[in-house]
Amino acid sequence: MKCVIQRSLSSDVKVNNTITGKIDNGLVIFVAFTYNDTIEDIKYMIKKIINLRIFDDENKIMNLSLKDINGSILSISQFTLYADTKKGNRPSYSNSLNKEEAIKLYDLFNNELKKENINVETGIFGADMKVNINNDGPVTIIIDSKVR
């Protein structure tokens, strides 16, 4: 499981010109799954994401977590995080989990986040999404559940 996490002042996602998810202060998370991902990967990622100290405290030091600031998450499925660009110029996505299995893990990921009392907004899995991010910082973190 891979996530690209961006600290955001405000963000939204549109499908067919309709907003399907919108947050103010919080994180935009691009999420992808591969073949051997499990609930353990999801739990690891959630614990890491909600406790990352990447929000400024009163001294402008990144010392606060998403939970500390009562922030929200905009979760976006993005299988292209598993692009393999080693050969040629056309990326291969063979390391991305198939759609049927990936949507199950994506839904599980979002539901587990909600169990942490976090407001979670989403795009639509597999849709052509337009994501508008007001990146704060910018702060962008990449986490791979297999690299611990």
Catalytic residue flag (residue 18): no
Domains defined along the chain, listed by start? 2-144 (3.50.80.10)
Q: Residue 124 phi/psi, 5° resolution?
A: -120, 120
Buried b (16+ CB within 10 A) or exposed e, 107-120: eebbebbeeeebeb
Question: pTM for this structure?
Answer: 0.95
pLDDT per residue of the chain (148 residues) written in tens, 0 to 9:
999 999 999 999 999 999 999 999 999 999 999 999 999 999 999 999 999 999 999 999 999 999 999 999 999 999 999 999 999 999 999 999 999 999 999 999 999 999 999 999 999 999 999 999 999 999 999 999 999 8
* Active-site residue, from 18, 34, 38, 80: 80
3-state secondary structure of 146: coil
